[in-house]
Structure 1
Amino acid sequence: MSIGSYRAYFEGMVGVTTATADRDSARRVDEGSPRTRWNPLTRITFRFAFLYFGLFCVLYPQPLFAFLGWFGANGWLPPDAIIWQVRVLEPVYHWVGRTVFGVDARLIVSGSGDLRILWILLFCVLAVSVAGTLIWSVLDRRRPEYRRLAGWFLLFIRLCVAGQMLGYGVAKLIPTQMAQPGLATLLQPYGDFSPIGVLWSQVGTSPTYEMLLGTAELVGGILLFIPRTAILGAMLALVDMSLVFVMDMAFDVPVKILSGHLMLMSLLLLTPEARRLIHVLVLDRPAGRSTAPYPFHTRRTRLLAALLQIACIPWLLVPLAHTGWKNYHESGDGRPHPPLYGIWSVTDFTRDGHPLPPLLTDENRWQRIVFDAPGTMTYQRMDGRLRDATLMLDPRTHHITLTSGGQHLIEGEGQPDTPSKPLAEFTFQQPTPDRLTLDGTLEGHPVTITLAHVDPDTFRLRSSGFHWIQDNPSF
């Protein structure tokens, strides 16, 4: 194959051909003619969509932050850099919240994407977009169409959706978003889970399923960055984000604002191609040539633009993958097991020199303890309640220090407990791998606790496995 053939093949792959360039040049000449004039409803709808989704992508924390690449993914920026837009405009949102809704909207760094202040942000974007559309429609009522502006706008929206799809995909392909249920989660009654805890545990139980979900999101993002495959990427993104949005709504996941808007923006990207898609997918007719606006018209500018868009893939993907892999091995399922890892069942509990029988009403006795996450020990009271305690464990001196004030252990949800205070000081002995003895003080009382190791694979969630043949399935 000659050099010219390679170039032609590559240009075809990225969506750069002489035919499309000539066609767009001709279309550009005809812009403003009656043949290309938009109807009033289309013009008004475009104005609103341009203002609303443009402001959303600029003001909401995540869409633009993703394009910082290494700068945003590796801690080179302040921890709250992702929310700088919200922090700058916080006084405005606070005033709108108090004046319009009578609520106190403050910026809280909690990991939630559905903060009260973000809903106020959304209201402000909607109000400004409605007012801006009215003013724009009056002042610019004679303009017949906005093809050139629409081309830039759709390109901007496409890149924003693509960046978020890569982030969603990597977080699942390297399964860190939804980790496998922890050891303490195996002890949690199902009725005590929050809906988000049910979803997180359900997806995390099968890393293969989570990785396939991530693969679909990742592929959608990559396709969106390539001009030739952008329509296919938008279709896949629409399906992916519709599923995510439904799960967020059904399981009360605090990412409803972002997932809902990514779904709508994916649909927006397909709007210019709606007629062609209906012809092919529904009416079994030829699709015809695309008339979707695109800001680059010459062969040279299209090629350069395509190369820049494709270059965004490694710029975003490499730091995302690096950070995800690092988190997976430091705090995710790939992390090393801490000392004394496992579930330990209390066989004997002595307090103030007196043995305590395993009574469900006893508030002093423990039922189980769990060593799983680094720096944390979970203990289960006799009534089944689980509590986290901050753990300092020295394997050399066999010394354990516990500080209370952890969190209620519900997978995917944490509620603050009492303020931190000393809880216990122990020395431990492990005469055999399945036996453990703690001796020291607990809440100011001398205690001796004898424990037996519980094999986590005895739980059905871990031991049921996979079966091709199931004559009598059990649930």
Structure 2
Amino acid sequence: MVETTAGPRWWIRTGWVLHALLRFVLIMAMQGYVWSKLNLTQMGRMDYSEALVATGEKSPMGLLWTFMAYSPVVQFLAGAAELVVVLLLVFRRTAWLGGLLGTVALGTVFLLNMTYDVPVKQFALALTAGFALVAAPELPRVARFLAGRPTAGTRGAPPLLPWPRLRRVTRWLVPVLGLALIAAQGVLFQQLQPAYQRTDVALAGVYRVVEDPSPPAARLADDRRWQQVAVGRWTWAGPTLPVPGAPPTGSAPLAIRTADGELVTGTWSPVRDGLVRAELRAPRSGPEPLLTPPARTVELAWSVRPDGRVTLSGDGQRLVLESDPELRFLYDRGFSWSYGNGAAVNR
């Protein structure tokens, strides 16, 4: 570090002030990603409604989201890693390590965004560059250490404030306020976007239609009868947002596959015992926004028969549903260390 008798040159001090501001910006920018992964809301929960969606019908981003949503552990650990990065940025002595780890973490996110066509590529690249700039001042010492060369001691960043008495206060006050800000963001996020809750309504499941008194259409391409029904089990516990297509509080996803091959998605909410309200979108077709307003709302009455089958009526439907173990295979398959068809399989 080049110094004069008056202390560090002004441009050195200015550079470290910008370094501190960059750390603050990165801490704030990462909050949504950190807490949405920790409470499993960024990618959501893998639910029964996904059972009716063929791989070829997904977008690249949808495929990535499904992969992450299937494993809550992976999603949570990704958020935990990002939280560690953010906490390291709070302290000047550990900020370089947070920058280094953040460069790796957000560089991986940027790579995923590029290869799975996630529409925040520029933002992920900017975050990656920001973390790299935070780590940059210490990178020469890290390189010497990795090369097995001696790393001389360093005085580190110069004091940002010229007043010693004030520095003695801000030395601890600023990190404490930083930690309090991160904790407050987590509490606020949990209030606005709480974790999904599992419903206790027995209707949740994946079914195929085994009885339908409706006559078939003359052509298969015109047959709108329901053939498969998937009723989600993870309900949205947050407030109903004033955005068209946002899920209502207490609703879970719903998917219907018709005989002509169309896929209808939406949400369902319990009205009372044996009755649910379904908000159905238009049949899926081409690129569409994540939050698509429903095309119609219907009420469906249901009951479980002694043989375990489910009767479903309403909206012109009088169906008997039977749980489909093949469509539930992904959800029912457990973990095993063993080999063979009775354990881990690749199908």
TM-score class normalised by the smaller sequence: 0.7 to 0.9
Which residue pairs with 1:381 in the alignment?
258
Which residue pairs with 2:246 in the alignment?
none
Q: Deviations over 1:252-279 (max 9, x none)?
A: 1122222111110111112222322222
Question: Partners in 2 of 1:209 and 1:403 — Cα distance?
Answer: 31
> Offset at 1:207?
1.2
Which residue pairs with 1:448 in the alignment?
318
How does 1:261-272 map onto structure 2 within 5 Å? 261-272=126-137
Which residue pairs with 1:346 in the alignment?
209
Q: Deviations over 1:28-68 (max 9, x none)?
A: 72445xxxxxxxxxxxxxxxxxxxxxxxxxxxxxxxxxxxx
How does 1:53-452 map onto structure 2 within 5 Å? 146-297=11-162, 299-306=164-171, 307-321=173-187, 323-324=189-190, 327-329=193-195, 332=196, 334-338=197-201, 340-351=203-214, 354=215, 356=216, 361=221, 363-372=223-232, 373=235, 374=251, 377-389=254-266, 391=268, 393-396=270-273, 398-405=274-281, 408=284, 414=290, 416=292, 420-421=295-296, 424-432=298-306, 434-442=308-316, 447-452=317-322
Which residue pairs with 1:52 in the alignment?
none
> Offset at 1:219?
0.5
TM-score calculated relative to the size of structure 1? 0.60
Percent identical among aligned pairs is: 25
Provide the alpha-carbon RMSD of the alignment: 3.5
Equivalent residue pairs, number = 326
> Offset at 1:457?
8.6
> Offset at 1:431?
2.8
| Partners of 1:276 and 1:288 within 8 A in 2 | no
Question: Partners in 2 of 1:180 and 1:392 — Cα distance?
Answer: 17
167 and 388 in structure 1: CA distance in 2 versus 1, 3 angstrom threshold: closer
More helix by share: 1
> Offset at 1:242?
0.8
| Partners of 2:268 and 2:279 within 8 A in 1 | yes
| Partners of 2:304 and 2:311 within 8 A in 1 | yes
Larger radius of gyration: 1
More strand by share: 2
Question: Partners in 2 of 1:441 and 1:466 — Cα distance?
Answer: 40
Query: Unmatched 5+ residue regions in structure 2?
Result: 236-250
| Partners of 2:48 and 2:328 within 8 A in 1 | no
Which residue pairs with 2:334 in the alignment?
465
298 and 341 in structure 1: CA distance in 2 versus 1, 3 angstrom threshold: same
One-letter amino acid matched to 2:295: S
Question: Partners in 1 of 2:25 and 2:102 — Cα distance?
Answer: 12
Aligned-partner SS, 2:305: strand
Query: Unmatched 5+ residue regions in structure 1?
Result: 1-22, 33-144
Question: Partners in 1 of 2:208 and 2:48 — Cα distance?
Answer: 13
> Offset at 1:223?
0.9
Q: Deviations over 1:426-460 (max 9, x none)?
A: 43333348322233442xxxx4211123458941x
Question: Partners in 2 of 1:241 and 1:28 — Cα distance?
Answer: 41
Deviating beyond 6 angstroms after TM superposition, the runs of 4 or more aligned structure 1 residues are: none
> Offset at 1:228?
2.0
TM-score calculated relative to the size of structure 2? 0.79
Question: Partners in 1 of 2:257 and 2:180 — Cα distance?
Answer: 46
One-letter amino acid matched to 2:312: L
Question: Partners in 2 of 1:298 and 1:280 — Cα distance?
Answer: 34
